[in-house]
Structure 1
Amino acid sequence: MSGLADQSADNALWDLILPSLKNAGPLGPSGSDGLETFSVRHLVAAVQHGATANEVNAYISHFSTQHKATVQAQINSDVEGFPAIFYIVGSNDDSIIRAFDKAGADLHATYGDPPVPLLAFAVINSKIIGRDTSSTIATLLSLGADEKSIPKPFYSPFDVDHPEDGPQEEIMLEYLQDARTAWYKRRSTRKLLSEALSITQRYYLYRASQLSKPTGRQKDVAARHSSTELFAIPYFLIGQNAATELLTRSFLRYMLRRQKHPLVLVFAGPSGHGKTELARRLGDLLSLDLNVSDCTIVTRELELFGPRKPYSGAAEGSPLNNFLAAHHGRKCIVFLDEFEKTTQDIWNALLVPFDNAGEYQDRRNLKTIDCKNTIWILATNALDNCITSFCKRNGAIFGTDNSTTRAELLDELTSSMKEKFINVFSAPLTGRISAFVPFLPFSSEETCIGAHKYLLELANEVRKPICITPGPHEHLLGNIRLSIRADATVCKIITRDYDPALGIRSLRKAVTDRVASLLDSEYLATHEIIAEGGPVEDYSVFVSDGKIKVKQISSRPDHA
């Protein structure tokens, strides 16, 4: 035996519950001169009481401009014994965490003796607040939090359920010698961590351990273009390492050489494999507006861009035309979905904004619009056979640790994609493409994360308060805290319904059929009437005799 300290889990949990701070009023400068002293206590108290990310950003920005030294001196101070950043992570709000990070918050902060790292607190916080904290984990990792502060056996492999007390002690002995994981000596904290870690959180930790960190020059180039969040994108996606790697590479080369033409990318791969998700993450993280055009409903260029002045309808313009005009000279994203449904007429029309120094003529007034900073993404399924057949021949592309081999395989694949694209869409259009970005079939382990994604969506939906008022806001299945025991096992059963042709979205129906339907039946079996303001009811999803079961556990006095 290792002699790990034995303390009750309840005591350990209590140690990590943040004090409730008194709200000192709304954030914002005050006083006769329009200024007040920056107070990190005031700030974290406001966050505890519901301050928005915009309010936090405005408060920090104001004092960072006027009193930068004061902000830097206080941002990492303690409030009631806890580092201020613990309160921010406790809010479970990604945007507020990013605001504190930009102000200089220490993401390696610890609390207690032995010191519990911020990342471990973020995991355990899901038990404290009764809500999923996976997005917070991904945000911290994307900002540089050290995944090694949590012992590797907790998340590698990520698709295996651990014993209730965590990995076996003999496996963990070597980690007790590492100062970063000394907090693990408390058996009670180990138990809390094991109970709180979901399969998605384990996946994010595992993924972070596999990702290469950006070089100094890469970070410098991105910073000069206000695009450092580009490096955060892989932390939020399921799989698609090849796609995020090639996307990042294309962006960096484009920014490095300050191209005069727009960046034009082809996102190719089967439906439900993350093409739209990656575009949305790119827009969210880089704070870029995104226009999505459905190419299934356009066959002519005037349907996409609108008629030219003075023809009828020119004054209204089209959604895409008006979006480009509104973003004259600014960086933005245009996503042309299901591009294979378009015609030669549209391909020819796109040659102008793709080339010609990125200039485009507003159809409403014939004014020239600068589109060289527009990022064009052509999403298509036309290359599916090319990608899937390549992956069948070269399975090593999924998990090879040899970066040279992986790079060679990706170069070979993108060359094949380019040849196929020429055959389908013509050489002139292909000549304007900056890069081909392949979306590969998911591994069996990755499909488990997809199943858990929809389980989390179900849990978030039923956690909402009950509303019995008829109409659009009616919500009869609510006030439910849904826990998933042995989530890896549950997810593996759900993935039996996985359809590669539909991708991850095929698992939405599987969750509905295998879990949501059972929850509905268990909920309706209660004789109590449905009423607003009742106690939170606990339901558990688990596996028994190889089948998924849902059972009500209890009702708690706390309210939703």
Structure 2
Amino acid sequence: FDVEKVIGAIQNGYSAAELREYLSYYHKAETTLLKENLNAEVRGFPATFYAVETNDAEIVRYWIKYGGDPNATHGTLHFPLLAFAILRGARARLQATGTMETLLRLGASPLVIPAAYYNPFDRDLPEAGPDEKELYDIGDDERFWCIPELRPRLAAALSLTQRYRLWQAAGLEPATGRERTLAIRKDAVEILGLQYTIIGQRLATWSLRKSFLVHLAMPFKKPLVLLFAGPRGHGKRELVNKLAYLLSVDIQKVECTGLNVYDEIFGVKRPGQDYTLGSPLNDFLASKSKERSIVFMEEFDKTNQEIHKELLVPFDRGVYTDRRNGQKVDSSQTIWILSTSKFDDTISDFCIENSNIHDSDLRSEQYALRRQLHRRIRNECIASFGAPLTSRITEIIPFLTFNTEEQALIADKYIMELESLIAGPVVKSEDPDEDRLIGNVQLEITNDASVCSTIANEHYLPEFGASSISHGVDATITNQLISRYLEDGDDFSEDQAESRYRVGMNEDNEVEVLPELTSDGTNGYSGLGYSWLKGR
């Protein structure tokens, strides 16, 4: 194993999938030696710095999964890997945020960043960084790297979402030794960082993580059956996808709207006509016998009693009968997730009655509130789906409406996606429908907390969730930006000069998009020759 050759490969386009396969081979052959190599010093820097330098969250994921140290440091000032990830990715905010979330999820300590930069997270940081009086912890060894000349750069690089992730990580209790050992032995260690995968929904992610760990520890095989209950657009589908990602398993999605006929979901029973055709769900379960997988039944409240009855045995015993041949399938490792928006009013009323449910401690008061909400939803679940099915649901996971801080974070997410979309090159195709005429555009967001809060306050609608904020970003920023972009040039060119725009608040406290005439270059980037990293 030659770590320098691996670094050279990832710097020249070696994909995350190729890296995973390569590291997996050596991990099986010699785990200890691989770990030593992944943490070796290469040309003066810890090898993990080169993985982070790619700004590719998947490469970072596998580098650390197979032994890289998420808390690696460089130089006499012990410059931390997490700070390097933040400063390195200042311009590509969406990718940098993914890299940072991956590091935190896999064990990087947020405490290497001075607390004043992220607590509170929902304020506009001064351009020069926090006031000296706020930097009470700057003299500690793990933050000694944050010298005065770096503080403005760190303030500029940290997005609202990144500050939120640091604040979140600083407040979360780490996994216990038994939880970590259990997750490692069951090949599910990344589930420990589930909270870093979506915005908000602290109660849902905490409940899911706890339920999953308890399920792993059970001495008998039985499917995990979860009910995701909450309003549309508040993260149910996203959390399902993130769970599958962390567990590296396949999902079979079943859209239940309009599928009230038994045969459409499970397939025709033998000896009915076309019984050999099966169904997507039937064939998926048969192909995943004894394997961990996820079945996601969306809008489950649209199903009928015949379907509920058919699910009782798979939910209870982990056994399913393949409709094509009558053979028994071991579905005990299947994770069933049923989603519904049927109990929105119950959840909304509960949030109004208990406004502190977003803020209270997860281990004490919020646990009691969770049980109260669980009982309310369970009673309605019995009325809607019947006691036999409800009794087989392992856990009810409630999804709450977004609070004001979470609404702003959703706005920041969509702004980062817009930045990523317009940063790519202009493409003029022979087919006008394939043109990408808006490109090579850079956005600078000033006062990001104010910008995002303003958009969220004006546009968030609980009944539509995140999509209402997405429309708000389009109405407030995207439309202004495209209008100015179209006014700025005579034609479109694939080699046109970079256009820069600044998004901020004007004197009337409205979000405004203006052309940016100056450029600060590329944050000193040239290989690992970052000017702000030299000599640290």
TM-score (ref. length: structure 2): 0.93
Residues 1:433 and 1:450: Cα distance change in structure 2 (over 3 Å) = same
1:279 aligns with 2:279: no
Q: 2-side partners of 1:278 and 1:46: how far apart? A: 33
Paired residue for 2:473? 511
Report the 3-state secondary structure (helix = DSSP H, G, I; strand = E; otherwise coil) of the residue aligned with 1:437.
strand
Residues 1:440 and 1:69: Cα distance change in structure 2 (over 3 Å) = closer
Q: 1-side partners of 2:486 and 2:106: how far apart? A: 44
| Residues 517-556 of structure 1 mapped to structure 2, 5 A cutoff | 517-545=479-507, 546-554=509-517
Report the 3-state secondary structure (helix = DSSP H, G, I; strand = E; otherwise coil) of the residue aligned with 1:271.
coil
Aligned partner of 2:249 among 276, 288, 291: 288
Aligned partner of 1:397 among 341, 354, 357: 357
Residues 1:500 and 1:192: Cα distance change in structure 2 (over 3 Å) = same
Aligned partner of 2:97 among 102, 120, 134: 134
Name the amino acid aligned to 1:276.
R
Q: 2-side partners of 1:254 and 1:101: how far apart? A: 26
Report the 3-state secondary structure (helix = DSSP H, G, I; strand = E; otherwise coil) of the residue aligned with 2:364.
helix
Name the amino acid aligned to 1:367.
Q
Paired residue for 1:24? none
Name the amino acid aligned to 2:494.
E
1:370 aligns with 2:309: no
Paired residue for 1:9? none
| Residues 302-317 of structure 1 mapped to structure 2, 5 A cutoff | 302-317=263-278
Name the amino acid aligned to 1:247.
L
Residues 1:206 and 1:506: Cα distance change in structure 2 (over 3 Å) = same
Q: 1-side partners of 2:117 and 2:440: how far apart? A: 31
| Residues 411-430 of structure 1 mapped to structure 2, 5 A cutoff | 411-430=371-390
Paired residue for 1:457? 417
1:478 aligns with 2:439: yes
Pairwise CA distance, 1:79: 2.0
Pairwise CA distance, 1:281: 0.4
Q: 2-side partners of 1:377 and 1:503: how far apart? A: 20
Residues 1:556 and 1:316: Cα distance change in structure 2 (over 3 Å) = farther
Q: 2-side partners of 1:264 and 1:295: how far apart? A: 17
Cα deviation code 1:88-136 (max 9, x no counterpart)? 0111122211221123222222224433211111111123667641111
Paired residue for 1:86? 49
1:435 aligns with 2:395: yes
Residues 1:350 and 1:288: Cα distance change in structure 2 (over 3 Å) = same
Choose 67-76 or 313-322, whichever is displaced more.
67-76
Q: 1-side partners of 2:19 and 2:106: how far apart? A: 18
Aligned partner of 1:208 among 147, 157, 169: 169
1:231 aligns with 2:231: no
Choose 464-473 or 190-199, whichever is displaced more.
464-473
Aligned partner of 2:313 among 340, 352, 360: 352
The answer to whether the Cα contact below 8 Å between 1:293 and 1:337 also exists between their aligned partners in 2 is yes
1:177 aligns with 2:139: yes
Name the amino acid aligned to 2:336.
W
Structure with larger RCO (C-alpha < 8 A, sep 6+): 2
Q: 1-side partners of 2:195 and 2:138: how far apart? A: 30
Report the 3-state secondary structure (helix = DSSP H, G, I; strand = E; otherwise coil) of the residue aligned with 2:271.
coil
The answer to whether the Cα contact below 8 Å between 1:263 and 1:376 also exists between their aligned partners in 2 is yes
Residues 1:63 and 1:373: Cα distance change in structure 2 (over 3 Å) = closer
Pairwise CA distance, 1:521: 0.3
The answer to whether the Cα contact below 8 Å between 1:40 and 1:74 also exists between their aligned partners in 2 is yes
TM-score (ref. length: structure 1): 0.89
Structure 2, unmatched stretches of 5+, are 523-536
The answer to whether the Cα contact below 8 Å between 2:93 and 2:416 also exists between their aligned partners in 1 is no
The answer to whether the Cα contact below 8 Å between 1:536 and 1:558 also exists between their aligned partners in 2 is no
Cα deviation code 1:522-557 (max 9, x no counterpart)? 110023310113333222212112121222325989
The answer to whether the Cα contact below 8 Å between 2:203 and 2:362 also exists between their aligned partners in 1 is no
Pairwise CA distance, 1:338: 0.9
Report the 3-state secondary structure (helix = DSSP H, G, I; strand = E; otherwise coil) of the residue aligned with 2:276.
coil
Report the 3-state secondary structure (helix = DSSP H, G, I; strand = E; otherwise coil) of the residue aligned with 2:323.
coil
Paired residue for 1:491? 452
Cα deviation code 1:151-190 (max 9, x no counterpart)? 1110111110010011001111x21221111011x22211
The answer to whether the Cα contact below 8 Å between 2:94 and 2:416 also exists between their aligned partners in 1 is no
Paired residue for 2:2? 39
Name the amino acid aligned to 1:72.
K
